[in-house]
Amino acid sequence: MGKRAPPPWSADDAARAWVHHLAPDGGSVAFVVRRQGVWAARSVADLVDGVWHAHPDVAHTLLRGRVVTNRPASEVDRAVVQVCGRKLGAGVRGAPGAVPPLEVRWMDEAAAASRVLHVAASEVAVPAGDLRAWLRPAPDDAPLRHRDRPIRAVLLGADGAVLAAAANTNGRHRMRHAELNLLQRWAKPLPDGATVLVGLQCCRMCAAMLVDAAEGALAVRFVDPEPGPFGRHTALQPKGWEQAL
Ligand SMILES: [Zn+2]
């Protein structure tokens, strides 16, 4: 047995006091409180992105704490925390209260830097012809971990033209799947009738982000099924937008 958990009312009072402390004007905030300090940003996605960018060696441990936000949870918020964190407490209203003297580190600039870095690092040129093998190349070294394997994603317009392409860069940043990099490289809504081709079936996080970015209908075609639990119950599946290639 581990340490006894504090009673829930105590954690919720602390969360309300931190919301009040970090966003006294009622602006949006997301944060995680740990023994070592408080990490905060203006959105759940920026918090997780910034923590992985700024602290790649300990991000996994930091994000085991409950991510708290004063905004209602979006599908993207929920999925980001499921894939890259642990628990989400959303819609927490601020209330005055004492907070412990912990250092607060704002992660918005780290999230912006992460975006610039990974948009550049994920650049790939799309070859002509059948893309199947290119989307999911076989690893050249046997002991490569699954998440370090190259996975590529391509956005095609309704006419089949290549609009954008990206590789995953998540060797040291858990959030940086090919689809997120693709969305940030494109940096616009996905046009009606677009298709996303991807080497590995979308996880819940990427599926939620693709649905969120789609202006109309979207088709997603994957090469290999995602064997883990995050490939199931994604936002794409109830829409019927996802199929094997
Ligand atoms: Zn993903």
pLDDT digits (tens, 9 = 90+) for 95-140: 999 999 999 999 999 999 999 999 999 999 999 999 999 998 776 5
Output the CA 243–ligand 1 centroid distance in Å. 16
Please give the backbone phi and psi of residue 222, each rounded to the nearest 5 degrees, phi first.
-115, 155
Distance 41 CA to ligand 1 centre (A): 22
pLDDT at 32: 97
Ligand 1 centre to CA of 202 (Å) is 5
**12 CA to middle of ligand 1, Å?**
31
**In the prediction, which pLDDT does 1 show?**
44
- CATH number for the segment(s) 122-244: 3.40.140.10
pTM: 0.91
- Torsion angles phi and psi, residue 204, rounded to 5: -60, -40
Phi-psi region of 142 (alpha: psi -120 to 50; beta: other; left: phi over 0): alpha
pLDDT band of residue 142 (cuts 50, 70, 90) is very low
How high does pLDDT run on average in the chain?
92
pLDDT greater than 90 at residue 24: yes
Measured between alpha carbons, how far is 217 from 225 in angstroms, rounded to an integer?
A: 22
For residue 16, report the distance from its CA to the centre of ligand 1, in Å.
31
Domain coordinates in residue numbering, the chain: 8-117, 122-244
Separation between Cα atoms, residue 20 and residue 36, nearest integer Å: 20
The helix or strand, by DSSP H or E, that contains position 189, with its residue range, turns out to be none
In this structure, which residues have their CB less than 5 angstroms from ion ligand 1?
Answer: 177, 203, 206
Residue 161 alpha carbon to ligand 1 centre in Å? 23
* Residue 106 amino acid letter: W
